[in-house]
Structure 1
């Protein structure tokens, strides 16, 4: 009986998707775990209580809700606007965090034309990242599980790392042991940026629903025979909490136009220079990050 019901749902969904004016909406909850290895050799002067408070606050800021509006060929993915809670440090801290993770506004991708455009902002300067949609070579794993009412199937892939997102940094091999070998004064004078590195690629795990025959997903994830309802890179997980097909109030799924147009590689280079600028600023006496130069 369950197989018959699933088959009927798939048929109805397919018919709905084929409609000329089809549009759907999916809500994703994003959670990012902090790297424990990095926190172990971070600031040695922070008390355990202060460290716990900072980690809790960062965890709250990294828990986000995103909305994906999609039709048969294109989609718009963006964060749901929320009011800051009094204990979250206010909008300024959230804006700083957004800048350090290559903060974005609207994220548009067109799987027919194989292009994507993302609104990005770094410390007050706006960019429009425009590039070819990267092809993802998926490996079907043969596993399945339920996400809500949908039977989803597992797929994995190795993809390049977004070098504009500082959350992708990881400790260098042997960095913790190197810090442990230093005395207190040497630890204080060690630049944290010298102890971390940016990997070139990462493994992602996705779960897609063939009952929703749309080759879309959150961020730049696409290319599977069904809507991606969950995707994880081991640190950040995006899980779909709601799907609405054939929405009554249709969204404008159009390419964004705001910001200075750059390619993905150019934006990563800009972000790398900004990180280097901050590294030099905090060397020695330290200081406060300002607006983008140029």
Structure 2
């Protein structure tokens, strides 16, 4: 009996070793993301008693002639604990003032060094471009047991609050052991393949992950723009939008993500 138990234990240990040897992790490659914005919800939220006379009819017309969701593409290249998030310019630019919203547009090209927890971002703010250099955002993630599959990877859900009031839901995979993600979302024990801002009606989800070598020389920080950091940029934005009311808060939030 002792011999049988010893043999069974040996097989279990051998099976575990073989599984560990066959476990595959993606350490470099390119992720394609799709940003989706619920335009109907976004525009409706901006309607109030002061603007409903002209904005409500415009909103009704928009619903009849435009799709509910605006889709935008981006890529994230990663290797050696470095990532670079790059928006892809749409082929057809929609010319409609209702959709010309900072929350809709993709304002940032972001290089992140996860080894040093620093980033450099080229940030477009209206007609001006800033080059923001600073430490990565510290996000107090709460990891849950919920999972879902994204782009072929099993991902676990985590929740957080950023910018004091923005609720974030993220899905990350440990099969890509780099704690990066789209835009400025980092800090989880694996790559973030999905992000949702439920109250802002915006999501970023990976549609494809291509495992491939990425030359570190290809991960080049952006260099264009007026040099600043997060604190100074916030001071500049606060000064420019202090009389904008709720519109100012919306734009401030958009430029701070």
TM bucket, shorter chain: 0.7 to 0.9
What's the offset of the Cα at 1:81?
1.9
Runs of 5+ unmatched residues, structure 1? 18-22, 161-199, 280-294
TM-score w.r.t. the length of structure 2 is 0.73
Aligned counterpart in structure 2 of residue 82 of structure 1, from 82, 90, 108: 90
Aligned counterpart in structure 2 of residue 148 of structure 1, from 148, 151, 163: 151
Runs of 5+ unmatched residues, structure 2? 1-15, 246-257
Aligned counterpart in structure 1 of residue 112 of structure 2, from 109, 119, 124: 109
Single out whichever of 269-278 and 49-58 deviates more from structure 2.
49-58
Quote the residue 2:29 is aligned against.
24
Quote the residue 2:230 is aligned against.
264
TM-score w.r.t. the length of structure 1 is 0.65
Work out the CA distance in 1 between the residues paired with 2:241 and 2:92: 26
What's the offset of the Cα at 1:264?
1.2
Residue 10 to residue 31, structure 1, CA distance change in 2 (3 Å): farther
Equivalent pair of 2:108/2:183 in contact (CA under 8 Å): no
Equivalent pair of 2:47/2:56 in contact (CA under 8 Å): no
Work out the CA distance in 2 between the residues paired with 1:268 and 1:58: 33
Quote the residue 1:11 is aligned against.
23
Work out the CA distance in 2 between the residues paired with 1:113 and 1:201: 27
Please identify runs of 4+ aligned residues in structure 1 that moved more than 4 A. Answer: 7-10, 55-60, 93-96, 100-103, 247-251
Aligned counterpart in structure 2 of residue 71 of structure 1, from 74, 79, 82: 79
Equivalent pair of 1:114/1:133 in contact (CA under 8 Å): yes
Quote the residue 2:51 is aligned against.
43
Aligned counterpart in structure 2 of residue 238 of structure 1, from 204, 209, 228: 204
Structure with greater strand percent: 2
What's the offset of the Cα at 1:113?
1.0
What's the offset of the Cα at 1:276?
3.7
